[in-house]
Chain A
Amino acid sequence: MADVALRKVVKRYDDVEAVRGIDLDIADHEFIVLVGPSGCGKSTTLRMIAGLEDISDGDIMIGGDVVNDVPPKDRDIAMVFQNYALYPHMTVAENMSFGLRLKHYPKAEIKARVTEAARLLDITDLIDRKPKQLSGGQRQRVAMGRAIVRNPKVFLFDEPLSNLDAKLRVQMRIEIKKVHQKVRTTTVYVTHDQVEAMTLADRVVVMNKGKIEQIGTPNELYHKPATRFVAGFIGSPAMNFIPCRLEDVGGTLQIRLTDRIAFALPPARAARYNALPRTEKLLLGIRPEHLTESHAHHGPGVESFDTVLDVTEPMGMETLVYFGLDGTPVCGRVDPNAGATDGAPMRLAMDLNNMHLLNEATGVVL
């Protein structure tokens, strides 16, 4: 077990910078998820921690030691790959014990560790099978077993669930969380799936274009995103961004969305945004769940408006409604019994207590 630290880590391929100066501190026992779109440098970062890629600049420390030039086998890490990377000619037990056998562990200890890991992962019955006789989920368990038996300082997961079907993915996600609760090994997990990131992580690192956009707990990222990228990336359906400007009407601060629609800001928000120049081009960030059907009575800061729905998507527990505000597509989530129908007018309510205001040019959340 160990902590991991990245100090101004850079990865250059010829003249392309894949990772552009990353600082990250991962505490002992922590489960960190690196998330971002493809090409954001998350896998490269993981592979640099593993030692599979050289780092162009900066330092990587595992357990306080700089490991920049330490080969992978001496870093005491274990990695789980997207395509499992099981050795096809070995049985499950041989796959799991390969690393221990290379290090000449006593046979009894190898057997004990493999048995224990197999029990933990519920693959005891499969121990003598070859990988091709296993299903995708079973293979992924074996790959995790191979990591666990080594009892390494750090687990590295590279999109381990991407090859599984949706149902199995949810199941394995829970398995991984359970395993981490039991073995408590420091874990770095890479995924492009923000749901995986939110459900698994102690802290999520959102990456974009080779840089860290924001680090935080899942709730922090969801409720207090720092940038437009994070706000739009975390959450599904994604947050709406509606062009708007601030204006003063009779001593109260208003946010104007269209010629027709303007709302008075709740006092807390008004105080926060009052110093902003009124001419600045802004974006209102509002999550679909804060755009619901209007009720006769609603709390302070919730404002109603009329619109015409373009499309509705019944999801069962809720209905997603899509409409336009001056050409900007907007998504809301309403009660399935609220009577939302395609092409019909509807009165919706916007919860401004949960709004975000962004600078349109810089993408920074204000």
Chain B
Amino acid sequence: MSSVTIDKAAPTRTVKYGSMSRDRKWALRWSYFFLTLFAIFSLLPPIYMLVTSLKSSAEISAATNPWWVFHPTLENYIGLLTSNQFLRFFWNSALVSIFVVTITMLISVPAAFALARMRFWGSATLATGVFLTYLIPDSLLFIPLFKVFALFGDWTGIQLINRWYVLLFIYPTLTVPFCTWIMIGYFASIPKELDEAAIIDGASWFQTLTRIFIPVALPGLIAATIFAFTVSWAQFLYPLVFTTSTDQLVLPVGIITTLIKGDVFNWGQIMTGALLGAAPPLIIYAFLMDYYIAGLTAGATKG
């Protein structure tokens, strides 16, 4: 009797399993199809940049297949990397980004901790407000901000406009709200008992932050750091408006202003500069990718 049941049950299960795996196979095919499509779409521009950066100006303007290098040359790379001007842009960008990341973290982390944990009057409204400021586009803000710094210069005699370090005051208006928001979500997902245990163990608020919250929320902290770095490295409008002298320019603006002379586009060097400029964020992403993904998804699973 029992052997009959087994005989009956076995094929049913196999068929069911088979149909499930067929479903899965199709799902995989479709996902590979769309992933390939997406990869081509997003990789074409950098590949084109790479191809162009390896060509001489003569070959770029020649009517040959633009997707192939017939006479590869490193002259664009050598030209840029030996140009003091380009190295200056790179240095300015690096300085601005590192300082902005530091300033952002020094403000965002304590702010997020306070908003997530210290219940005070208006803390919830303030948390929402912080996020809302991030929604105001920079194209709306650059004129009033310019005016602010111009007035500041008039009143105090301290001229900040057309100095690279003016960007240290401006970029945090973009990075601080978003990073604070990320960190609030992160800190809020840490169980309340953890800080209560720390407080009973004798930790001050500051010790609770530095010895419990920051280590526990490290993935979130790294996600926020990468964000702040990317924003300040790639920012274009603000430096275009606030800096004009070539020795004060950051990389994205520097490339545009010095490599386009009138209507002459030095395409080879522009592409090379853009590629070299994209390298640092790429390297950082590659190293911190796992942390970054954990950082973006952790809030979702914890609710």
Contact = CB atoms under 8 A, between A and B. Distances in A.
A363 interface: no
B215 interface: yes
A79 B194 contact: no
B290 interface: no
Interface residues of A, number: 23
A103 B193 contact: no
Interface stretch (B195-203, B227-235, B241-249): B195-203
Interface in B157-206: 191, 193-194, 196-203
Q: Chain A binding site: helix, strand, loop or mixed by DSSP?
A: loop
Interface string B199-218: 11111000100011001101
A88 B216 contact: yes
Interface residues of B, number: 17
Contacts of B207: 102
A146 B194 contact: no
A21 interface: no
A50 interface: yes
Among B201, B207, B215, which residue has the most Cβ atoms of chain A within 10 A? B201
Contacts, number: 56
Interface in B134-175: none
A98 interface: yes
A275 to B, nearest CB: 52
B200 A78 contact: yes
Contacts of A146: 197, 201
Contacts of A99: 200-202
Interface string A68-88: 000111000111011101111
A325 interface: no
Given A51-B200, A83-B193, A89-B216, 4 more contacts: A71-B199, A73-B203, A88-B216, A99-B201
Interface of B: 191, 193-194, 196-203, 207, 211-212, 215-216, 218
8 contacts: A71-B199, A73-B200, A81-B197, A82-B193, A85-B194, A86-B197, A98-B198, A99-B201
10 shortest interchain CB distances as A-B pairs: A99-B201, A85-B193, A73-B202, A85-B197, A89-B215, A81-B193, A102-B202, A72-B200, A79-B200, A72-B199
